[in-house]
């Protein structure tokens, strides 16, 4: 007897004791039940094994093939997704490089323009304007009564 059979025997004996059987009778009954299962098990398998062996092998091979196909399809889908993501990443990196070049060029140009604009230009003051006293008469600026 191996360990698993002993465990089954002990558990069955304990169950029979719980149902009110004496210990010796419970042990003998459990042992006879386990021996009966061992005797019946191989006989049934011997009669069923030759006729169903081929069918079981065929069934297992078909199941394995179906599982392999499912896994292969899943792997194909994932590989396509990975390749599309890598292409998108490459295009984004290319656009980023172009944007950096354009940004660098824009940064260089305004610096030169600011230097050119700062030197020759004099700002006019919008509040004061570029008016001369002869452009506007004093009567137009002040109200002197009835007119």
| Token output for 38 | 């061992």
CA angle 132, 133, 137 (to 5 degrees): 125
Average pLDDT, the chain: 79
Contacts for 29 with CB less than 8 Å, ≥ 6 apart? 16, 21
Q: Is the pLDDT of residue 81 over 90?
A: yes
Which DSSP category does 144 fall into? -
Query: pLDDT tens for residues 7-50?
Result: 888 888 888 888 888 888 888 888 888 787 766 555 445 555 55
State if pTM tops 0.85: no
Q: How far, in whole angstroms, is CA 129 from its chain's centroid?
A: 66
How high is the pLDDT of residue 124?
63
How high is the pLDDT of residue 145?
75
Answer yes or no: are the C-beta atoms of 124 and 130 closer than 8 Å.
yes
Query: pLDDT tens for residues 106-117?
Result: 887 765 666 666
Confidence band of 77 (pLDDT split at 50, 70, 90):
very high
How high is the pLDDT of residue 65?
93
Q: d(Cα 73, Cα 68) in Å, to the nearest integer? A: 9
66 vs 49: which has the higher pLDDT: 66
Give domain limits for the chain: 3-109
């Amino acid at each position: 007897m191996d360990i698993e059979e002993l465990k089954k025997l002990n558990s069955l004996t304990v169950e029979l004791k719980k149902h009110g059987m004496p210990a010796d009778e419970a042990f003998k009954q459990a042992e006879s039940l386990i021996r009966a299962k061992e005797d019946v098990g191989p006989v049934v398998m011997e009669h069923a094994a030759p006729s169903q062996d081929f069918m079981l092998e065929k069934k297992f091979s078909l199941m394995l093939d179906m599982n392999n196909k499912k896994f292969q399809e899943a792997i194909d889908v994932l590989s396509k997704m990975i390749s599309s993501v890598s292409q998108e990443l490459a295009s984004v990196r290319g656009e980023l490089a172009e944007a950096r070049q354009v940004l660098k060029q824009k940064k260089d140009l305004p610096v030169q323009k600011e230097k050119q604009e700062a030197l020759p230009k004099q700002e006019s003051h919008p509040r004061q304007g570029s008016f001369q006293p002869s452009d506007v008469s004093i009567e137009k600026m002040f109200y002197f009564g009835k007119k």
